[in-house]
Amino acid sequence: MTEATSPAPSPRKAKLRAEALARRDALELDDRLIWDEAITERVLALPAFPEGPVSAYWPMRSEADPRPILEALHERGLPLCLPAIVAGRMHFRRWAPWEPIVPGGFGTLVPQPSEAELRPAVLIVPLAAFDRRGFRIGYGKGYYDRAITELRPLATVGIGYAAQEIPAVPDEPHDRSLDWIVTENETIRCA
């Protein structure tokens, strides 16, 4: 596959992203820690985890923290991976809890470049904003949309806080909806 270019940023999406991130950033840390536990329980109850690899992300800023989910899945014996951006594409490198990670650009931490690449069957993705149809606003580069298109995973799960919900994401042809959205309050089946 050739390297895809990022879609032109949408001013409407940029405004919605900024508003949703401001709401998320304003949430109290103590509340987010409690809500992350609820999100973990809800995600682990999903029927979305086959034998294949599961990918999540290393949280940054005030994102919902998927690390407890990854630890529980590791205990179940599922292979795990984290994304890394390499030459404009999202790659998924093998990782297990407590293994070393390195700076990966965009403020992220990623597995070391020497780790094997895996093809995840399930993607757990971060949300800047989301709607009930399963469309999300990320950070605007389109990496997850391209990865979902390329990988065609068995399941996609967005995790975030209820404060990040918006009535409708202005979806575009390149946007991919998620199968599930999980917040501290509910599990939304989208697809």
pLDDT at 2: 36
pLDDT at 187: 97
Global pTM value: 0.90
Work out the angle between the directed axes of helices 29-44 and 67-75 (0-180°, nearest 10). Answer: 30
pLDDT at 175: 81
Secondary-structure percent of the chain, ordered helix, strand, coil, rounded to 5: 30, 25, 50
Query: Which of these, 147, 150, 152, 142, lies nearest to 173 by C-alpha position?
Result: 142
pLDDT at 80: 96
Whether 173 shows a pLDDT value over 90: the answer reads no
23-41 mean pLDDT:
96
Residue holding tokens 């020497």?
114
